[in-house]
Homo-oligomer: A and B are copies of this chain.
Amino acid sequence: MVDEALVARTPDEIRALSYEWRAAGKTVGLVPTMGALHEGHLSLVRKARSECGKVIVSVFVNPTQFGAGEDFDTYPRNLENDRELLSEAGCDAIFAPGVAEMYGEGSTDLSSGERTFVEAGRLGDVFEGKDRPGHFRGVATVVAMLMGAAVPHRAYFGEKDFQQLKVIGRMARELHMGVEIVGCPTVRESDGLAMSSRNANLGSEEREAATVLHRSLEAGAKLAADGEKDVSTILRRMRGVLDGEPLVEPKYVAVVDAETLEALESLGERSARILIAARVGSVRLIDNIALPFVRSE
C-alpha cells in the first residue's frame, strides 16, 4: 500500500491535487505534522479519513518554529517509516517539501525583515511563546503556508499542543482562511504519558519520570471535579505531585481560560484548562487537561 499514497514535494503540486479533488466534489482534509509519526498523529489521520473524501498529510520539520539552541537538528526524522504508517492509515497524498520548497533559498529567520510572516498576537506570547520567543510566529507562518499550498476544507490538530491549536484556530478565523480547524483528543501511552515525537529522546529513567506531567494534571483535575474552585489550591496539589520527581523540572503550570488562555484565579462558568510544561533531561515536554465546568451554587 505504500506506493498508493502520492508524495508531493512542492506547494504547486499539492495545490493542483487539492483543487482537482475539490472540483470532483471531494472534501479535502489536511493533517499537518513534523513527521516522526506516532499513534497520536495516526488518530488525526483516521479522524480526517472518517470525515473527508481525500486526506493530505504534510510532513515538514519547520525550522522557523525552533529557537536558537532548540532541538531542530536532533528532532526525529524518518520519512520512509512515516510513509508506511500513513499508507496503512489511509492517506491519499503526503506533502513532504524540503526547506527550500517552503522558504526559498533566502533566510529562514522570520525576525530578519527579509520575509513575510504571520503573527499570532498575545495568544502566542504567553506560556510556550514566552519560553520559546518567536515559536508561534513560526507556527502561524508555516501553517498559513500549508493552508495556501494544500487548500483543505478541514485541518486536524492534536489537543496535546493546546496553545498551538488556539493560535491556529484564531488565525484561520481572523484571516478568513475558509478552513475548519478540528481539535482532536491527546493520545496517551498506557501509563498516561502524552504521545510526542520527542519522547523518543528520553532516557529510560527520564521516560519513567515523565509520567508525572499527566499524574499532576489528573490530580489537579480531580480536585476541580470534587468542587475545588481555588486555583492556588489546585496548583499546590499539582506541585506536590511534581516535587516527587526530581528528574522533572517544571517550566510552568497554569490554570487558564480555555479560549483566551488568560490565567484564572478561580474556576467558574468559563471553560478552563490546565497547561503544563517541563524539562526532563534535555527534552522539553508539554501536556494539558480539560477541567470540568464548575457550576456556581
Contact = CB atoms under 8 A, between A and B. Distances in A.
A77 interface: no
Interface stretch (A137-145, A244-252, A285-293): A137-145
**What copy number does this chain have within its complex?**
2
Interface in A111-125: 112-122, 125
A285 to B, nearest CB: 27
A227 interface: no
A151 interface: yes
Contacts of A115: 121, 170, 174
Contacts of A176: 11, 15, 102, 145, 148-149
Contacts of A177: 148
B116 A175 contact: yes
A127 interface: no
Nearest to A23: B23
Interface in A134-160: 140-141, 144-145, 148-149, 151
A178 interface: yes
A22 interface: yes
A145 B118 CA distance: 12
Given A148-B177, A175-B144, A120 B116 contact: yes
Contact of A175 (B113, B119, B141, B151): B141
A171 interface: yes
A145 B175 contact: yes
A69 interface: no
Nearest to A15: B178
A291 B19 CA distance: 40
Interface string A1-37: 0000000000110010001001101000000000000
A23 to B, nearest CB: 5
Given A148-B175, A175-B145, A178-B15, A113 B122 contact: yes
A174 B122 contact: no
Contact of A178 (B102, B103, B112, B148): B148
Given A145-B176, A178-B11, A114 B121 contact: yes
Contacts of A116: 118-121, 140, 170-171, 174-175
A170 B175 CA distance: 17
22 contacts: A11-B178, A15-B178, A19-B22, A23-B25, A102-B176, A112-B121, A113-B122, A113-B125, A115-B174, A116-B118, A116-B121, A116-B171, A116-B175, A118-B118, A118-B119, A118-B175, A119-B119, A144-B175, A145-B174, A148-B177, A149-B176, A149-B178
Given A116-B170, A151-B178, 8 more contacts: A11-B178, A15-B176, A22-B23, A23-B25, A103-B174, A113-B122, A115-B121, A148-B175
Q: Which 7 A-B pairs have the closest CB atoms?
A: A113-B122, A148-B176, A11-B176, A116-B174, A116-B171, A113-B121, A148-B177
